Structure 1
Amino acid sequence: MGFNPKVYSKVLLVVVYLVGLFDRVSGIGANWGLQSTHRLPPETVVRMLRENGIQKVKLFDADYDVLKALGKTGIEVMVGIPNDLLQTMATSTKAANNWVSQNISTHLSKNAVNIRYVAVGNEPFLATYNDTFLSTTLPAMKNVQAALVKAGISSQVKVTCPLNADVYDSSPSGMPSAGDFRADIHEYVLQIAKFLSDSGSPFTVNIYPFISLYIDANFPVEYAFFDGNASPVNDGGTTYYNMFDANHDTLVWALRKNGFGNMPIIIGEIGWPTDGDRNANLLYAQRFNQGFMAHISGGKGTPMRPSPIDAYLFSLIDEDAKSIAPGSFERHWGVFTFDGQPKYTLNLGTTNSGALVPARNVQYLEKKWCVLKNGVKLDDSNLAPSVSYACARGDCTSLGYQTSCGNLGTDGNVSYAFNSYYQIQNQKDEACKFDGFGVVTRSDPSSGSCKFPIMIRPYYYSGANQRFSHLRVSLSSVIGVTLFFWIVI
């Protein structure tokens, strides 16, 4: 049989498709959040993604600058629609059409961004939302899906909704095989699962063993990791040595019991924070994330789903403007610090060095810090309001019990608070006054594991994310006064 160019072309297309499919399910992804007072330029972050071999990125909105920077890189992108837009998307097909046109179609056609998913909402069924999004999540997903169909891109871009792992449970036995969707939201999740199945979309879930350890002092620590040191759990002959596998397979059982046994699953978020709690530290974070990478290497899955795991590490970079309502650790999930420097050795299996590659050409402010002036009496009644003000508008989450800066002493805690505010305010002279309590120094006050950071030069995004500048003050001010009391004691 002679050479047939048409047949060859078809075979080549199939091979390319299969290679792309393999990359999608086997490559590691990362969550890239923007709730920071000072952000690295998008081009810097995208270069860092590429140099670290990170093939997928999950966003929480559709920032124009970020998406444009991802153009022509081949990096697979999941674009997010924030929860505060669910009501609009659910009630207006025009709004959904416009959103898809501006944030998906434009970037596909003009900027060559490899957008594969739209995440409609983010953990909208969390109990803390008090059912706010129960009735709008699915209608929003349907309208966005209809907009993708109308735009002619529904085969390329799929709708999903990242849900927290608490949407299912395994009561009363606690075994994965007892898994089902939670009784109070069963119908809502079931309807979403049916929609996802009908549209050929994956079920996205966020799994956090750290949170289980954080909320339950009796949680077996070793079961959170992948070392095989935990007491195994036997579920009818299936043995589980870590919480991730058990939690994942609880979802598999829940989907199977409700008629969706073959539905693809994406792990939207998985990771371990490095500060802000006694169990959030570099040692545990490195152990967990490296253990997870080793656990899924070579395409290994879980007992109920032995196929490759599709996952996004949470997160790429620390975000110092995130709400700390869930806990002070929320600002410390990154495998990189705010300035793109690796926190610890992590081998993703994608670099020649076997380690993370830092951000390049980062521009910093001057090497100077704001600290407590010598001779200040710590019982001065005017000092407390200054520290409270600094923490409300800065970041004092490293000053808790058994955290990286937990052993500074009262004067060190005050200096840390002052410097955080000073750096976030771009080292403006007036930002270190604090009624005469602060003074600028060029001597680094860092001590041991506690680093007094110097902020990077501000980068101004053109996108809609500037709204976070209003949000972060209101969230922080609620906790500012409370923070002072445990700082000075």
Structure 2
Amino acid sequence: MATHRLPPKVMGQLLKDNGFRKVKIFDADERTMMGLAGTGIETMVAVPNDMLAAVGDYQRAREWVKDNVTKYNFDGGVNIKYVAVGNEPFLKAYNGMFDHVTVPALKNIQRALNEAGYGSAIKATVPVNADVYDSPASNPVPSAGKFRDDIAGIMTDMVRFLNRSGAPLTVNIYPFLSLYGNDNFPLDYAFFDGGGPPKPVVDNGINYTNVFDANFDTLVSALKRIGFGGLPVVIGEVGWPTDGDKHATVPYAQRFYSGLLKRLAARKGTPLRPRARIVVYLFGLMDEDDKSVAPGNFERHWGIFTFDGRPKFPLDLRGNGRPAMPAPARGVRAYLGI
């Protein structure tokens, strides 16, 4: 959502230059898809929320798969791995608008993928927000995790289907948002570098020193509660903004990513899944200067790159313990006419 969008081929090259092997996009826009064609980058495409009701009709789901998956299944095409059915459709802010159309859409998209011969290679999933499990007030410790009462039945149906189809559950976790607007939230608890709050959250002998682990394990507990404690989980979004709030700064973002990337490189899981390799999509790649500023101005500054493709701070993207400035986008000056 930018006033000056970089050409898709420039974006595709930016991903390759920095060694990114996976990318998650929020639709299946043709220009974007052609920018990814030939890169080999594993791609998660998406059915937008406003199309969920439509693909609740199976014929429409078949057409969507034909137009947005089959179309790019050619030699040198797009390496599609997942289809995200909606984006955080159960958010409380939506007041139930998508509650009863999401799971039928999920089932139809996976059925259409299966019918088209992609079912073993491409899985449909639903990225959810962490608000699908109850608030910390209701879940004082991760082991108390359970799904919200108003969507517990829907989540159970959805998780049962994901388990049967061999797909992961996708969840977006934002330590920054735990901190945002809550002056009582302990700052160090948002990071991974061992500081933690003055008193760690203690749960059955486990000390939780960061909110990411506590949040993830709350979801694991909620899954266990409905009988699917082993379901794979993908982190669909996690990141830290660099402007627009007192805590949205480059030093804090660098601190957050440093800890996160070190964890990923060490293949260290969470206390309830200590040996699980966590797949994580960073949010996001680029700043978006035309994005809505609800709930705050920081919404336009989530990128690890500026809107014109310049890296903001060093990152240890290769997990070798040596942070370096990411490679910038190439060919941007000519595009912007500078």
Cα pair distance change 1:457/1:163, threshold 3 Å: farther
Paired residue type of 2:328 = P
SS of the residue corresponding to residue 116 of structure 1 reads: strand
1:291 lines up with 2:259 in the alignment: yes
- Between the aligned partners of 2:76 and 2:317, the Cα distance in structure 1 is 28
Q: Structure 2 stretches of 5 or more lacking a match? A: none
1:224, CA displacement in angstroms? 0.2
Corresponding residue number in structure 2 for 1:64: 30
Corresponding residue number in structure 1 for 2:228: 260
Paired residue type of 1:77 = T
1:294, CA displacement in angstroms? 0.9
Where do residues 243-282 of structure 1 align in structure 2 (5 Å cutoff)?
243-282=211-250
Query: Which of 34, 39, 51 does residue 73 from structure 1 map onto?
Result: 39
1:356 lines up with 2:326 in the alignment: yes
Query: Which of 306, 311, 315 does residue 337 from structure 1 map onto?
Result: 306
SS of the residue corresponding to residue 299 of structure 1 reads: coil
Cα pair distance change 1:277/1:198, threshold 3 Å: same
1:69, CA displacement in angstroms? 2.1
Which one has the largest radius of gyration? 1
The question of whether the paired residues in 2 share the 8 Å contact of 1:54 and 1:350 is answered with: no
Corresponding residue number in structure 1 for 2:295: 326
- Greater shift in the superposed pair: 338-347 or 64-73: 64-73
- Between the aligned partners of 2:324 and 2:10, the Cα distance in structure 1 is 21
SS of the residue corresponding to residue 235 of structure 2 reads: strand
Cα pair distance change 1:183/1:353, threshold 3 Å: closer
SS of the residue corresponding to residue 333 of structure 2 reads: coil
Cα pair distance change 1:364/1:330, threshold 3 Å: farther
- Between the aligned partners of 1:189 and 1:173, the Cα distance in structure 2 is 17
The question of whether the paired residues in 2 share the 8 Å contact of 1:68 and 1:111 is answered with: no
- Between the aligned partners of 1:36 and 1:176, the Cα distance in structure 2 is 38
SS of the residue corresponding to residue 187 of structure 1 reads: helix
Identity value in percent = 52
Where do residues 35-54 of structure 1 align in structure 2 (5 Å cutoff)?
35-54=1-20
The question of whether the paired residues in 2 share the 8 Å contact of 1:57 and 1:312 is answered with: yes
Paired residue type of 1:158 = K
1:99, CA displacement in angstroms? 0.9
1:109, CA displacement in angstroms? 2.5
Corresponding residue number in structure 2 for 1:106: 71
1:212, CA displacement in angstroms? 1.0
- Between the aligned partners of 2:138 and 2:31, the Cα distance in structure 1 is 48
- Between the aligned partners of 2:241 and 2:113, the Cα distance in structure 1 is 36
1:199 lines up with 2:165 in the alignment: yes
SS of the residue corresponding to residue 180 of structure 2 reads: helix
- Between the aligned partners of 2:207 and 2:149, the Cα distance in structure 1 is 26
1:210 lines up with 2:176 in the alignment: yes
Corresponding residue number in structure 2 for 1:317: 286
1:298, CA displacement in angstroms? 2.1
Paired residue type of 2:87 = N
Where do residues 145-184 of structure 1 align in structure 2 (5 Å cutoff)?
145-169=110-134, 171-172=137-138, 174-184=140-150
Cα pair distance change 1:200/1:457, threshold 3 Å: farther
1:143 lines up with 2:108 in the alignment: yes
Q: Structure 1 stretches of 5 or more lacking a match? A: 1-34, 366-455, 459-489
1:110, CA displacement in angstroms? 5.3
SS of the residue corresponding to residue 269 of structure 1 reads: strand
- Between the aligned partners of 2:34 and 2:161, the Cα distance in structure 1 is 30
1:39, CA displacement in angstroms? 0.7
- Between the aligned partners of 2:139 and 2:21, the Cα distance in structure 1 is 39
Paired residue type of 1:293 = L
Paired residue type of 1:319 = E
Instruction: Give the structure-1-normalised TM-score.
Output: 0.66
Paired residue type of 2:269 = G
Where do residues 333-482 of structure 1 align in structure 2 (5 Å cutoff)?
333-349=302-318, 354-363=324-333, 456=336
- Between the aligned partners of 2:235 and 2:51, the Cα distance in structure 1 is 23
- Between the aligned partners of 1:80 and 1:57, the Cα distance in structure 2 is 12
The question of whether the paired residues in 2 share the 8 Å contact of 1:171 and 1:178 is answered with: no
Instruction: Give the structure-2-normalised TM-score.
Output: 0.94
Query: Which of 221, 227, 242 does residue 210 from structure 2 map onto?
Result: 242
1:468-487 Cα shifts (integer Å, max 9, x gaps): xxxxxxxxxxxxxxxxxxxx
- Between the aligned partners of 1:175 and 1:158, the Cα distance in structure 2 is 32
SS of the residue corresponding to residue 330 of structure 2 reads: coil
1:330-385 Cα shifts (integer Å, max 9, x gaps): 111000000010011112126987331111121268xxxxxxxxxxxxxxxxxxxx
The question of whether the paired residues in 2 share the 8 Å contact of 1:197 and 1:263 is answered with: yes
SS of the residue corresponding to residue 180 of structure 1 reads: coil
- Between the aligned partners of 2:138 and 2:239, the Cα distance in structure 1 is 28
1:111, CA displacement in angstroms? 4.2
- Between the aligned partners of 1:293 and 1:71, the Cα distance in structure 2 is 27
1:189 lines up with 2:159 in the alignment: no
Cα pair distance change 1:111/1:251, threshold 3 Å: same
Cα RMSD (Å): 1.7
Corresponding residue number in structure 1 for 2:196: 230
The question of whether the paired residues in 1 share the 8 Å contact of 2:176 and 2:190 is answered with: yes
1:125-152 Cα shifts (integer Å, max 9, x gaps): 1111111101111111111111111111
- Between the aligned partners of 2:64 and 2:177, the Cα distance in structure 1 is 34
- Between the aligned partners of 1:72 and 1:350, the Cα distance in structure 2 is 25
Paired residue type of 1:56 = K
SS of the residue corresponding to residue 57 of structure 1 reads: strand
